[in-house]
Structure 1
Amino acid sequence: MSKARSSKHEKKARRRVKAKCRKELKVEMEDIRKEQKSIKEAQSQLREKLTATRTECEVLREETKLMIQRSASTQLRLSLMFNIIKAREDADFDKAAHFTLLLRETIATDDV
C-alpha cells in the first residue's frame, strides 16, 4: 500500500474512533444528567421531610411545654389541698381559709 493510501485509512480510522467516542460520551453525559436529576429530586424530597420533621418537632415542644405547665398547676393545687386538710386537722381555720383562697385564685387563673 502506498503512503498516501495508508494515511487515508488512518484518518478514516481516527474519525471512526472519534465518532464512536463522541457517541459514548453523549450516552455517558445523558446518564450523568439523569443521575443528577434523580439526586436533585431526592434532595428536594429530603428537604420536604426535614421541614415536616421540624414542624412536628415544634408542635411536640409546644405540647410538652403545655403538659409541664398543667402538671405544675396540678401539683400546686394538690399541695394547696393537702395544706387545707392539714390546717383543718390542726384546727387552724385561718390558715385553712388562706389556703382555700389561694386554691380558688389558682383555679380561676388556670381557667382563663
Structure 2
Amino acid sequence: MEHLSLLLSLLTLSSAATAANIHGKREGEGEDNLSPPSHCHRSENFVSFRRSGSSQKRHWICTQKRRMTRKAKPSIKRLKAEIKEMNAQQKRIKDRRRVVKRKFEQIEAKHDQLKRETKIIMQQNANTQLRLHSLSKILKARQDRDFVTATDLTQSLRELILKQNKQRHT
C-alpha cells in the first residue's frame, strides 16, 4: 500500500510537470512565479518578445542603426569640429591671398611707374646727348670760323629743342 501511495504521488508530480511544460512553465515553478513564456527572450533588465521573419530583421537593423549612431556621435562631433577648423583656415588663407594680391598689385603698379620713369629718363638722356653733340659741332664750326655751318647747326639745335619740348608735354 505504501508503494501504491508513493506511485500515485509520483504520477501526480510528473503529470503536473508535463502540464506545466505544455503551458510554458518550467519544472519546479509554481503558479505564483511570473517568469516570461517560452517564446520570450529574457535578459538581465528586460524581456523582449521574439520576432519572426522580416519583423525580427527590421528590429535587428534598427537596433544596429541605434548602436552605430551612438558610436558615431563622438566621431561626428569631431568631424564637425575639424570641418569648422578647416573652414576657418580656408577663410584665413583667402584673406592672406587677398592681402598678397593687393600687395602684388601695388608692387606691379610701382614697377610700371618705374618703367615709365626709366623710359622718360632714358629719352631725356638721349636728348641731352643729341644737344651736347650739336653744341660741340657748333663750337667746332665757330673755332674753324665756319659761321654758315654754325648758324645751320644752331637752327637745327633750336628745332630739336622745340621738338623735344613738345614730346615732353604730350
TMscore range, shorter length: 0.7 to 0.9
Q: CA RMSD in A?
A: 2.3
For residue 145 of structure 2, give the secondary structure of its aligned residue in structure 1.
coil
Deviation at 1:11, TM superposition (A): 7.8
Match of 1:73 among 127, 135, 145: 127
Match of 2:115 among 40, 45, 61: 61
Number of aligned positions between the proteins: 108
User: Residues of 2 paired with 1:4 and 1:22: CA distance?
Assistant: 31
- CA 1:111–1:12 in structure 2 vs 1: closer, same or farther (change >3 Å)? closer
Larger Rg: 2
User: Residues of 2 paired with 1:19 and 1:44: CA distance?
Assistant: 37
Instruction: Give 2:99's aligned residue.
Output: 45
Flag the structure with more relative contact order, 1 or 2, with Cα contacts below 8 A and sequence separation at least 6.
Answer: 1
Match of 1:26 among 65, 70, 80: 80
Gaps of 5+ in 2: 1-40, 45-63
User: Residues of 2 paired with 1:43 and 1:3: CA distance?
Assistant: 65
Structure with the bigger percentage of helix? 1
2:132 corresponds to 1:85: no
Gaps of 5+ in 1: none
User: Residues of 1 paired with 2:107 and 2:132: CA distance?
Assistant: 37
Instruction: Give 1:96's aligned residue.
Output: 150
- CA 1:20–1:4 in structure 2 vs 1: closer, same or farther (change >3 Å)? farther
Deviation at 1:67, TM superposition (A): 0.5
User: Residues of 1 paired with 2:43 and 2:132: CA distance?
Assistant: 108
Identical aligned pairs, as a percentage?
33
